[in-house]
Structure 1
Amino acid sequence: MKKISLLAALLVNGTILMAQTNPVITAWLRNTTGVTGRHYVSGSSTPIVDADSANVQTVLYSATWSYTRTKGVPTYVTGPFLDGNPSLTTSQNAIFKLPLTPAVNTGTPTATTGGDIGIFINGVAMFDYRDGVSWKNSTSALAGGPLGGMGDGVWNRDAIVGEVTGFDCSKGHPAMGNYHHHQNPSAFGLDLNVLSTVCNLYTSDALYVMDSTHHSPLLGFAFDGYPVYGAFGYKNADGTGGITRIKSSYTLRSITTRTTYADGSTVTAGPAVNATYPLGYFREDYQYNTTSAATPDYLDEHNGRFCVTPEYPAGTYAYFCTVGSNWNSAYPYMVGPTYYGVKSGGKVTSITEPVTIFTGTVGINNIKEDAQVVSVFPNPASDLIAVQLKNFNTETIVVELYDINGRMVQKTMVYPGSTMAYFDTRTIYDGEYIVKVITNSGVISKRVSVIK
């Protein structure tokens, strides 16, 4: 009887310990304040407050699975979508199921598919490179996805290239209300080479801000249960070598016509390589470079590697959101075109086993009492003052604006999963002001001038 009780205690304690340490349970950004989503409409830089709750609603777990309830709405403002997309970010009332212990796939790799392939830690959906559009040889035109009809499915359009005008500042957009990212979820306006000017009118907020001096945060999980990180990590898999940009091993093919695949097989022809359909417009324009993959800071054919990370000090297989030297997204962007592990997770309609609700705090926190992690701009300011947090935010942060006499004139918040706040300065006087950023670690103060 004592042995049975002891075994039961060990099992219970083991499950509790796992819940306390396993990032697939602890890392989610749960909504504990009731914050809702917001969106921009074209022509107005004033966000509209929505009714749907942002971030993850509830995290539950069993001995083998985690379950994340989410509406798929981020705390950063979504929209506008300047390609005419009429959809807005709306509640998905989704449940995502992920294995607590991912399994390596030793057989034929499973290809990623259109739609959800994983989930970010704020509950937003993760998509792969595709947008459902492909070349139709019989009509010499694109078809499928938002264009309607059906293409050949041989030369598949890369959504990051083909739909760049339809992404908001955060590099996301909705499909029938399901807001998602195909690529690294850091704002266009913060890239070293800015490909979209949508951030000129709408603040450069997103899930995180890239920081080349620190290991990128854990951003989410693929449906095989393995974690997905941002663009920077340790150069060497064992955690040594300093911080570097983790690179894709896929390169553009040297072709002028689209009649074969990278393996040499002949396929239904696509359009010739030209100004309208440049190399990189289709997924099949890329090939896997085994020479690059042999270098420590380059990734394998699934866009991942086994390595040490801050959340997995003993090592784990991990995917990375790849970018080029100019910080623009680089194919295959996050996960794919195949999963490394067994794809056992996904979106489910219900939970059919006994589970426990996770009530702990988020397992990561990158905001420190350091003035270097906060940017205040422009300075001097005229119409607005923007406050940008560096890297990643997991807490509710109060941001206050004081005049030189110590009187608070405005107050706002930065919520978990968002990196930016701003003050409207059109109604305040010229002069010197102090911005105070109040975090769990302390207060960061920045001086700013207002000149109109």
Structure 2
Amino acid sequence: MKQTAVIILFAISHGMAFSQGPAITSWLQNTTLMGSHYVSGNSTAIQDNVPVNTQLVQYSASWVYVTTNGIPSYPTGPFLDGNPSQATDQNAIFKIPLNPTQNTGTLTATNAGNIGVFINGVALFDYRDGVSWKNSSNALAGGPLGGMGDGVWNRDAVVGERGGFDCAKGHPAMGNYHHHQNPSAFDLDLQLVSTVCNLYDSDGLYAIDSTVHSPLIGFAYDGFPIYGAYGFKNADGTGGIVRMKSSFTLRNITARNTYYDGTSVTSGPAVSATYPLGYFREDYEFTAPVSADYLDIHNGRFCITPEYPAGIYCYFATVDENWNSAYPYVVGPTFYGNKVVTKVTSVGETTTTYTPTTNGLTQSELENLNIDLFPNPATDLVTLQVNGLVKENLTVELADMTGRIVLEKVIPSGSTIAFFETQTLNAGEYVVRIKSMGNAITRKLLLVK
């Protein structure tokens, strides 16, 4: 039997704040740091004049209102498939329920465009890109290709548009920058399926860490939370940390003329090198979960998480054993809950503004960060990678052995990487200091020339 958890918010009295749950406190807020982007042929990011992450969070007893420009703190672009668009200010307010409920009637299919919002205010799309097979012309049509396909064999954007994603696995649709999939950089996957990170340093919302429960990274349009790729094996929070697995698998077909339930449909192209299995969404079939770490038909399950110790229904940004994105990627092909999120132009009720604390990370939290520093020894370039989600800005200093700071960078919340160009520094030992407010941890670095 499916279960759903309700977050109960208690109103004390008129004018007094309601209790604050993860749907209120998890958003990354910023009003000062501006975004940046790459253009083809220029490996230096261009600074923009649009604040990143979310700008304002307001809430009532039933709703949270999230104001966002839709711009991440990691650089966007370039989009090497000829996409003429850049990530632009979306000036959006999303109205999200604080008491999400299960849909017990006819399930609602995910749709083209936004189906969720990540905690940095960036949009989540489902698998599709608007392109489908047109049998009468024996070609693809729709979406960026123009015209209209049959809508029977629908192209999977994660496969069909891979050449146009930036390093963070995102791209814009008429300025609306979004992810169809797990928002972690291509070059952090165990097996690389894109080399765009080789040319343009970029990043992602978080970096996969297989040793801990993945962070809460967003909310779907039915109000239920979205987590990264790893969680507790069992719904009750036991069983250790495991990769959460999609229950969709590729069908064993060579001709595309039926759906996996046996329904005969208008034919699509035969399976080939040009149109391999997985090129279309209908190439997948669903099998009921075979163990606790396999997800349901919506790509989620009811479970306990660090943010929801009493349990709630959760979606997961699924990846395969190589950390490559796995269909249906985040949410879909149907919502578990009642889709109620709306985009509004103003807040039409009395609300409380949520102001996050700015105390920084504690010493213990810093020491528990999973940090990679590479290469070490290094010559010309050093990368510091924080695995997981950076919730508060981190200052990273490179100091020589006298304590003199020679280079300094900031890893903003919602980003994970700092780069140091060290070609002008002398060989020798250095200290990398990662700071948050008054606390710090250090790593040793050796430069060789």
Q: Same fold (TM over 0.5)?
A: yes
1:167 deviates by 0.7
More helix by share: 1
User: What SS does structure 1 have at the residue aligned with 2:24?
Assistant: helix
Among 323, 342, 360, the alignment partner of 1:327 is: 323
Say if 2:417 is the partner of 1:420.
yes
1:407 deviates by 1.1
Q: Structure 1's 152 and 363: CA in aligned 2 closer, same or farther, altered over 3 A?
A: farther
Q: Say if 2:360 and 2:437, in contact at 8 Å, map to a contact too.
A: no
Among 123, 130, 137, the alignment partner of 1:125 is: 123
Among 429, 433, 440, the alignment partner of 1:432 is: 429
User: What SS does structure 1 have at the residue aligned with 2:197?
Assistant: helix
1:390 deviates by 1.4
Residue number in structure 1 paired with 2:222: 224
Residue number in structure 2 paired with 1:18: 19
Q: Say if 1:302 and 1:337, in contact at 8 Å, map to a contact too.
A: yes
Q: Structure 1's 228 and 247: CA in aligned 2 closer, same or farther, altered over 3 A?
A: same
Q: Structure 1's 27 and 165: CA in aligned 2 closer, same or farther, altered over 3 A?
A: same
- Counterpart of 1:329, as a letter, is S
User: What SS does structure 1 have at the residue aligned with 2:29?
Assistant: coil
Supply the distance in 2 between the matched residues of 1:446 and 1:13 (Cα, whole angstroms). Answer: 51
Residue number in structure 1 paired with 2:342: 346
1:16 deviates by 2.8
Q: Say if 1:30 and 1:56, in contact at 8 Å, map to a contact too.
A: yes
User: What SS does structure 1 have at the residue aligned with 2:282?
Assistant: helix
Residue number in structure 1 paired with 2:29: 30
Residue number in structure 2 paired with 1:3: none
Supply the distance in 2 between the matched residues of 1:425 and 1:100 (Cα, whole angstroms). Answer: 48
Q: Which runs of at least 4 in structure 1 moved beyond 6 Å after TM superposition?
A: 362-367
Residue number in structure 1 paired with 2:306: 310
- Counterpart of 2:114, as a letter, is D
Among 389, 396, 400, the alignment partner of 1:399 is: 396
Residue number in structure 2 paired with 1:358: 354
1:448 deviates by 1.5
Supply the distance in 1 between the matched residues of 2:53 and 2:106 (Cα, whole angstroms). Answer: 35
- Structure 2's unaligned 5+ residue stretches are 1-9
Supply the distance in 1 between the matched residues of 2:11 and 2:180 (Cα, whole angstroms). Answer: 42
Greater alpha carbon shift after TM alignment, 271-280 vs 355-364: 355-364
User: What SS does structure 1 have at the residue aligned with 2:296?
Assistant: coil
Supply the distance in 1 between the matched residues of 2:223 and 2:359 (Cα, whole angstroms). Answer: 17
- Counterpart of 1:27, as a letter, is S
Q: Say if 2:11 and 2:61, in contact at 8 Å, map to a contact too.
A: no
User: What SS does structure 1 have at the residue aligned with 2:19?
Assistant: helix
- Structure 1's unaligned 5+ residue stretches are 1-8
User: What SS does structure 1 have at the residue aligned with 2:285?
Assistant: strand
Supply the distance in 1 between the matched residues of 2:11 and 2:373 (Cα, whole angstroms). Answer: 51
Write out per-residue CA displacement over residues 72-112 of structure 1, whole angstroms, 9 at most, x where no aligned residue.
Answer: 00001111111121211110001111101001100011000
1:441 deviates by 7.6
RMSD: 1.9
Supply the distance in 1 between the matched residues of 2:401 and 2:30 (Cα, whole angstroms). Answer: 35
Q: Structure 1's 228 and 362: CA in aligned 2 closer, same or farther, altered over 3 A?
A: farther
Q: Say if 1:369 and 1:441, in contact at 8 Å, map to a contact too.
A: no
Q: Say if 2:361 and 2:437, in contact at 8 Å, map to a contact too.
A: no
User: Aligned pairs, how many?
Assistant: 439
Supply the distance in 2 between the matched residues of 1:336 and 1:300 (Cα, whole angstroms). Answer: 10
- Counterpart of 2:378, as a letter, is A
User: What SS does structure 1 have at the residue aligned with 2:13?
Assistant: helix
Q: Structure 1's 95 and 11: CA in aligned 2 closer, same or farther, altered over 3 A?
A: same
The share of aligned pairs that are identical, in percent, is 61
Q: Say if 1:364 and 1:394, in contact at 8 Å, map to a contact too.
A: no
- Counterpart of 1:401, as a letter, is L
- Counterpart of 1:409, as a letter, is V
TM-score (norm 1): 0.93
User: What SS does structure 1 have at the residue aligned with 2:114?
Assistant: coil
- Counterpart of 1:202, as a letter, is Y
User: What SS does structure 1 have at the residue aligned with 2:42?
Assistant: coil
Say if 2:436 is the partner of 1:445.
no
TM-score (norm 2): 0.94
